[in-house]
Amino acid sequence: MNIIKNEKITIRRPDDFHVHLRDKKILKKVLPYTSSIYGRAIIMPNLTPPITNIEESHKYRKRIMRALPSNHHFIPLMTCYLTDNTNPREIENGFLNNFFFAAKLYFKNSTNYTKNGVSNIFAISKTLEVMQKIGMPLLIHGEITDNDTDIFDREVKFIDIILEPLIKNYPELKIVFEHISTKIAVDYVIESNDFLAATVTPHHLFFNRNSLLNEKFLPYLFCLPILKEKKDQKALKKAVTSGNKKFFLGTDTAPHFYFCNKVCQIIKPGIFNAPSSILAYLKVFEEMNALKFFEKFSSENGANFYNLPLNKEKITFIHKPKRIDKIIKIEKKVSFPFLAGEVMNWSVIL
Ligand code: DOR
Ligand code: ZN
Ligand code: ZN
């Protein structure tokens, strides 16, 4: 990494290890925000219907490549959505033949488009065994969602009820605890073995539940896992800026486009942060006086965890104000990007 004091920062091109691109017109609209910055991205499979086999994944990859601007160098890393009916052989074939980069575990109804998710972890035990054997990573939306669990306790309960036994039963299964949101999760990841790592989003670093709910309710900060307490936010900021190799960049950019006539009555969880994510992360590292670890978090830790070569290309930031778009339109529908209208200190030289 090269930092020219107060002027320019150059790092290896980063990767985004957690992205929702959706499909069709939305895919075409949102993809360039990711592919203009990031060299590779792990693509979430929670489409409708979800991507549950090699054939659908391959077709989805082709649609992504067709939507990609011709001057962008970008590699989508495809994932398979696990269900109670997942065939372990399909997972094995998909991974060994480079169709699947990883498998994604959503528990049933834990977030958007997860009604086909896994109802009970035992339903996929054969698949987990195979994945451990072949070194295929398991990516988890780590929240328990039974009716009795409070929304703010879902992640911590997931650690006790699912993650801890999972690690005991499959000690060499590579697991990514996605978008962690609590201090308890941070501490758990730090203390566990090297087969467990975590992604952290810009929104969980920037905000806490007071930002979402105090004074006025800001629906565009509604996401899952829901924003937690200030102490959790503080622990996340400390973890990512510490240089610890177990934490890496995964934005969970999750676009939703609404046609709102006066008031949107139903707001789905999800924050479209691709237009601001890298500048938001940079701001956190600058404020924490940790610019020296920015490249590790953004461009090295994740690639190393996934055994990918580091990107050779570079990206340069210049100390020049950049205003994030207030609104992003697709036909008659609108989306509000993360930090819409805010001015960031740095701009990317494209
Ligand atoms: O807030 C979220 N939105 N969290 C998720 O896990 C899924 C995502 C989506 O797909 O909209
Ligand atoms: Zn998730
Ligand atoms: Zn996600």
214 annotated among ligand-binding-site residues: no
Q: What is the mean pLDDT of residues 282-302?
A: 98
Question: Which residues fall inside 5 Å of ion ligand 2, going by CB?
Answer: 141
* Residue 270 reports pLDDT greater than 90: yes
Catalytic residues, by residue number, are: 252
* Residue 234 reports pLDDT greater than 90: yes
| pLDDT value of residue 242 | 98
Confidence category of residue 147, pLDDT binned at 50, 70, 90: confident
More confident residue, 259 or 276: 276
* Residue 264 reports pLDDT greater than 90: no
Query: Contact at 8 Å (CB) between 23 and 10?
Result: no
244 annotated among ligand-binding-site residues: no
d(CA 181, CA 18) in angstroms, rounded, equals: 15
| Average pLDDT over all residues of the chain | 96
- For the chain, give the percent of residues with pLDDT over 70: 100
Tell which atom from ligand 1 comes closest to the C-alpha of 179.
6
Among residues 269, 26, 31, which one has the least CA distance to residue 141? Answer: 269
Tell me the per-residue pLDDT of 42-91, one tens digit each, with 9 for 90 and over.
Answer: 999 999 999 999 999 999 999 999 999 999 999 999 999 999 999 999 99
DSSP letters, 152-184, are: GGHHHHHIIIIIHHHHHH-TT--EEETT--SHH
Residue 203 CA from chain centroid, whole number: 11
* Residue 168 reports pLDDT greater than 80: yes
Alpha helices in the chain (DSSP H): 24-35, 54-67, 88-96, 125-134, 154-158, 164-169, 183-191, 202-206, 209-213, 230-240, 277-287, 294-295, 301-305
Confidence category of residue 255, pLDDT binned at 50, 70, 90: very high
**Amino acid in position 129:** E
* Residue 6 reports pLDDT greater than 80: no
| pLDDT value of residue 288 | 98
| pLDDT value of residue 92 | 98
Domains of the chain with CATH codes: 14-308 (3.20.20.140)
Residue 73 in tokens: 């160098």
Tell which atom from ligand 1 comes closest to the C-alpha of 268.
11
* Residue 259 reports pLDDT greater than 90: no
DSSP 8-state assignment for residue 105: E
| pLDDT value of residue 260 | 79
Query: Contact at 8 Å (CB) between 301 and 245?
Result: yes
Tell me the per-residue pLDDT of 83-117, one tens digit each, with 9 for 90 and over.
Answer: 999 999 999 999 999 999 999 999 999 899 999 99
pTM, to two decimals: 0.97
What's the CA-to-centroid distance between 22 and ligand 1, angstroms? Answer: 11
Q: Is the CB of 212 under 6 A from ligand 1?
A: no
- Across the chain, which distance is largest between two alpha carbons, in Å? 55
Query: Contact at 8 Å (CB) between 75 and 40?
Result: yes
| pLDDT value of residue 81 | 98
Q: CA dist 119 to 53, 83, 105, 132, 180, Å?
A: 18, 8, 10, 21, 21
Within 8 A by CB and 6+ apart from 169, the residues are: 128
Tell me the per-residue pLDDT of 177-223, one tens digit each, with 9 for 90 and over.
Answer: 999 999 999 999 999 999 999 999 999 999 999 999 988 899 999 99
State the residue for tokens 């006025």. Answer: 216
Strand partners, 81: 104
| pLDDT value of residue 146 | 87
